[in-house]
Structure 1
Amino acid sequence: MGIASKQRASIAGTLARASLVPLAVAAYAFTLHWIYLNLITSNFRYLGYGYTTPDVYTLIFTYMAAAALAFILPNRLRNPSDILLWILYIVAVAPAILIPPYAGYQDASEAALAGIGIALAYAVSIVGARRQPEIPIQPLAKPLSGTSFWILLGVYSAFVYLMIYFTLGLSLDFISLLDVYDQRDEYREGLAGGGAIVGYLVSTQANVVNPLIIAYGLLKRRWYLLALGVLGQAILYSGTGFKTVLFSVPAVFIFAFILRHGRQIRTTWLIWGGVGVAAMAAIVDEIQGGILWTSLFSRRFLITPGVLTAVYMKYFADNPKALLSNSVLEGITTDHYGLPPARVIGYHMTANYEAAANANIFADGFANFGAAGVLGAAVILAIYLRFLDRASAGLPLRVSGLVVIMPAVALSNTSMLTGLLSHGLIAAVLLLALFPREPVAPVKEILPTAPIRDRRQSSKLHRLQGVASPARARSQ
């Protein structure tokens, strides 16, 4: 293909994307609005899910901000950073921009300013993580051999499950989705009774280690590894009651399918996937006469990050910032509340000091340092994504990409610092950096041995060998 043809194809692709992306974001925005108005507020108003008729211009403004972000996001999934950015956009960033205008906590100008602030901050993360494709990514560390890596991972996993057994007990009894809250209370009581370290081990095992085992089992069709990873998630779900652990298994399978057909699948399909999941949950609930699936998927994963963003930004705009006084800056900055931001907002919404309203990285950044905290979270995320891509250099995306799914979801309801230390972000970088790489065969070993009759095939072969083709040599 000539240069002119490539330019025309590039322009055509950009124009197609310029029309398809706004359409997908509009469908997503409409779906979130309809579900929030018709299903969420009527069933969960007592939890703070209110509704105010939005200003039309604010809706248009925030929609344009969300669509612009989607347009500058990667249009192909090439690195694990691309996957993390897209997941975080769908489950946290887009809802945080689109929902506040009608959540009832901010007025029109506040919601608009907050939306554009989050959009600009996330644009910093997107641009900061972007690389020139012709510049190879340098590995972060020397990988381990296959035997050493799997021994290390096996020893670590055995240690985690033994710690769970002696601290909390192990069970394979499947817990109903309606009974998970009782199990969570038991889990928290166990952690409070001296098993705090177990919480970090469980998060790493559930968010990173088991998905890595499942991903490699799928890639190599080693079904015993696949079974071990799924069994491990079942054990952790039974012990903790965390629904995200249970839903991580189908999420990994879905993304494994997406990445297997990565060249044919456009990233706008991910937005349509979010629309489809929310719509399907609403349809099933309508058929069953309940609200379970909408609560699990739409309210929990999509609506709540948007509502809590509005609550956080309104409350901490009118009150003193937290300044990480309950975290790494404890004793250095002034503690105005005696509670972390999640508990402050939980009490603000429910009058219950035990309620923890965990929000996404940008809402937490604002709670601690205002607009500077939002930008700081974006910069830290961009730096992390650079390290993530370096750590995964040389690995199939069907391995490295699946490892970041759950850490990305975790960022929708936690701070950047907590995500790094407690929810597997750093652990993902370390494991991917140490993961064994398969040797690449030399060019001469993969060249065809059959007689070459096609001139085009001959030219391609000589380019691979680094020499001029006979026809070009004669012309020179």
Structure 2
Amino acid sequence: MSAARPERQLWPWNLAATVAYSLTLLIAYAHLVAPVYSYLGYTWVTPNYALLGLAVAELGALSLLLPARLRKPSDFMLLMIFATVVVPVLTIGNVIGLLTTAQIALLCFFTGAAFAVATLMARWGHGHVTATLPHLPARWYWAGVGAFIAATILILVAVGGVRLEFTGLTEVYDIRDDYKTSLAAFPPLAYMVPAACYVAIPLVIIRGLHRRSWVPVVVGIACQGFIYLQTGFKTFLFAIPVLLVLTVLIRRTIPTALLPAGLAAGVVGAGILDVVTNSVWFSSLFTRRFLATPGQLAANYVAFFDEHRFVFLSEGLLRGLITYPYDMPVPFVIGREIHGVTTNSSNVNLFGDGFAQAGWPGMLIAGVAFGALLILVDLAAKGLPASVGFMLMFLPCIVLGNASILTAMLSHGLAAAVLLLALAPRAGWTSARQDPEELGGERREGVMLGDPRDPDGATPRPFVLR
């Protein structure tokens, strides 16, 4: 039996896990989220079950486009966006009660089409796109990473002082306000902190975990924790256990079905913990905030911008060329629509932002941009251990669930992640006993993704749908 056949046989698991996850999320939303958080816009209206069934069937079909196993960073990114953006949009968008039947059908179609475009672009790029990556001595590379982290922390302390008291996860908003106020003294810090905490510090931790060298791991965790205390952004803190868990999970090529199955289990586990502790905290943090919110906000964006003017990048790249039609940034416009106040920022995912920019065609454009990003990330990570790319791109993928691609690139460290992957030394990711070569001693060559000459030894894969 050929090696490809067992892999093809994994597709039923992708399908089953996707359907199970979709239904679990819907049930948890109906019974654990909507009854408690309807005042925040998490509403439930009895859906058109035929349309909802078609949405779940579409998700099952999209799951067949996913690779059966994770082998390169684009595989991991596609799986993350599918599980944390596409599934919530197609499920929660059906039941929130904001959209007409036609709007729901179009939302499901264009979200799925945009994701399919990105998936096919990534697969095409794996066999057709080449690039020659620059060579940077390893000592310079790691010195630069360390200097950037140190500069970020020193500037953060200089403009905001030192805060060492640990507050509860639900009491960080005053800290965030103080941090945002301190940014006026040094505006570039707004870009430096995300690049450090989403990319540079995790990279140091990742290298330590791969080399089984605990000093970089401890130093990285300490830096991440310190910046959390100064800024109050919980994602910085949650990055630490996530990286440790990923280290265990991705040492081998794992079936992609494990992620939707794991998220379904997480939704159930959060509900059980809420029952045991007589609270709603776990479902609020995991099911509502992490999983349901991308779908809820996408529906709100469609409901609003289907009746109001599109933005057409007038708030960003085309500022000055096109008149911006609103009196405040888009996330605050939607926050005002949902909550009735002007202080709440409601940041939508990459596909919802595409709709705000240019309607349904804008969602397809967002899919093309995402596909181009996937190709770029695969090229930048070529020659690195696959697990390095997986782990480094995890947090930027989470950001894409709450931001456009351009915003994630510039303001949340996604561009920094691509740059650091491209410049990273290809040797030195294992212990000295396992990898005796000097760090950075191997010069990279321009190789085709999927080329038989690939130094990783990966065999070329044809452009076919599994």
Q: Do both share a fold (TM > 0.5)?
A: yes
Code of the aligned partner of 1:157: I
Distance (whole Å) between structure 2 residues aligned to residue 140 and residue 307 of structure 1: 42
More helix by share: 1
2:393 paired with 1:404: yes
Alignment of 1:363-374 (within 5 A): 363-374=352-363
SS of alignment partner, residue 394 of structure 1: coil
Q: Which residue of 1 aligns with 2:409?
A: 420
Q: CA deviation at 1:140?
A: 4.4
Q: Which residue of 1 aligns with 2:202?
A: 211
Q: Structure 1, unaligned stretches of length 5 or more?
A: 441-445, 447-476
Distance (whole Å) between structure 1 residues aligned to residue 215 and residue 209 of structure 2: 10
Q: Which residue of 1 aligns with 2:212?
A: 221
Distance 1:206 1:439, change over 3 A: closer
Identity in percent? 34
Code of the aligned partner of 2:200: V
Distance 1:137 1:249, change over 3 A: farther
Picking from 98, 101, 106, the partner of 1:105 is 98
Q: Which residue of 2 aligns with 1:127?
A: 120
Q: Which residue of 2 aligns with 1:85?
A: 78
Picking from 18, 25, 30, the partner of 1:25 is 18
Q: CA deviation at 1:398?
A: 2.0
Q: Which residue of 1 aligns with 2:174?
A: 182
Q: Which moved more, 1:96-105 or 1:430-439?
A: 430-439
Q: CA deviation at 1:97?
A: 1.4
Count of residue correspondences? 431
Q: Which moved more, 1:167-176 or 1:37-46?
A: 167-176
Distance 1:12 1:159, change over 3 A: closer
2:305 paired with 1:305: no
Q: Which moved more, 1:357-366 or 1:378-387?
A: 378-387
Q: CA deviation at 1:363?
A: 0.3
2:280 paired with 1:287: no
Q: Which residue of 1 aligns with 2:68?
A: 75
Q: Which residue of 1 aligns with 2:44?
A: 51
Preserved contact between residue 17 and residue 71 of structure 1 (Cα < 8 Å): no
2:351 paired with 1:362: yes
Q: CA deviation at 1:130?
A: 1.2
Distance (whole Å) between structure 2 residues aligned to residue 59 and residue 91 of structure 1: 18
Alignment of 1:228-267 (within 5 A): 228-262=219-253, 265-267=254-256
Q: Structure 2, unaligned stretches of length 5 or more?
A: 430-435, 437-466
Distance (whole Å) between structure 1 residues aligned to residue 370 and residue 386 of structure 2: 20
Q: Which residue of 2 aligns with 1:465?
A: none
Distance 1:170 1:277, change over 3 A: farther
2:331 paired with 1:346: no
Q: What is the TM-score of this pair, normalised by structure 1?
A: 0.87
Distance (whole Å) between structure 1 residues aligned to residue 212 and residue 165 of structure 2: 28
Distance (whole Å) between structure 1 residues aligned to residue 405 and residue 322 of structure 2: 19
Code of the aligned partner of 1:237: Y
Picking from 244, 247, 259, the partner of 1:270 is 259
Deviations 1:291-310 (A, max 9, x none): 11111111111000000011
Deviations 1:316-338 (A, max 9, x none): 01111122222222222132212
SS of alignment partner, residue 99 of structure 1: helix
Distance (whole Å) between structure 2 residues aligned to residue 259 and residue 73 of structure 1: 17
Preserved contact between residue 199 and residue 392 of structure 2 (Cα < 8 Å): yes
Distance (whole Å) between structure 1 residues aligned to residue 194 and residue 320 of structure 2: 28
Q: CA deviation at 1:284?
A: 0.8
Q: CA deviation at 1:315?
A: 1.0
Distance (whole Å) between structure 2 residues aligned to residue 150 and residue 11 of structure 1: 42
Distance (whole Å) between structure 2 residues aligned to residue 319 and residue 68 of structure 1: 33
Which structure has more RCO (C-alpha within 8 Å, separation ≥ 6)?
A: 2
Distance (whole Å) between structure 2 residues aligned to residue 143 and residue 252 of structure 1: 27
Distance 1:21 1:228, change over 3 A: same
Preserved contact between residue 164 and residue 198 of structure 1 (Cα < 8 Å): yes
Deviations 1:332-380 (A, max 9, x none): 2132212222111100011111111100000011011111211111111
Distance (whole Å) between structure 1 residues aligned to residue 237 and residue 383 of structure 2: 30
Deviations 1:246-304 (A, max 9, x none): 11111112222221022xx2110111111122211111111101111111111111000
Preserved contact between residue 14 and residue 256 of structure 2 (Cα < 8 Å): no
Distance (whole Å) between structure 1 residues aligned to residue 257 and residue 212 of structure 2: 29
Code of the aligned partner of 1:246: L
Distance (whole Å) between structure 1 residues aligned to residue 220 and residue 428 of structure 2: 25
Code of the aligned partner of 2:140: S
SS of alignment partner, residue 10 of structure 2: helix
Distance (whole Å) between structure 2 residues aligned to residue 342 and residue 331 of structure 1: 20
Q: Which moved more, 1:213-222 or 1:28-37?
A: 28-37
Code of the aligned partner of 1:84: M
2:213 paired with 1:195: no
Picking from 170, 177, 187, the partner of 2:162 is 170
Code of the aligned partner of 2:30: L
Q: Which residue of 2 aligns with 1:160?
A: 152
Distance 1:143 1:258, change over 3 A: farther
Q: What is the TM-score of this pair, normalised by structure 2?
A: 0.88
Code of the aligned partner of 1:226: V
Code of the aligned partner of 2:182: G
Preserved contact between residue 137 and residue 389 of structure 1 (Cα < 8 Å): no
Preserved contact between residue 55 and residue 108 of structure 2 (Cα < 8 Å): yes
Alignment of 1:445-460 (within 5 A): none
Code of the aligned partner of 1:52: V
Picking from 416, 430, 434, the partner of 2:419 is 430
Q: CA deviation at 1:169?
A: 2.2
2:311 paired with 1:322: yes
Distance (whole Å) between structure 2 residues aligned to residue 19 and residue 39 of structure 1: 29
Distance (whole Å) between structure 1 residues aligned to residue 382 and residue 151 of structure 2: 29
Structure exhibiting the larger radius of gyration computed from Cα positions? 1
CA RMSD of aligned residues (A): 2.0
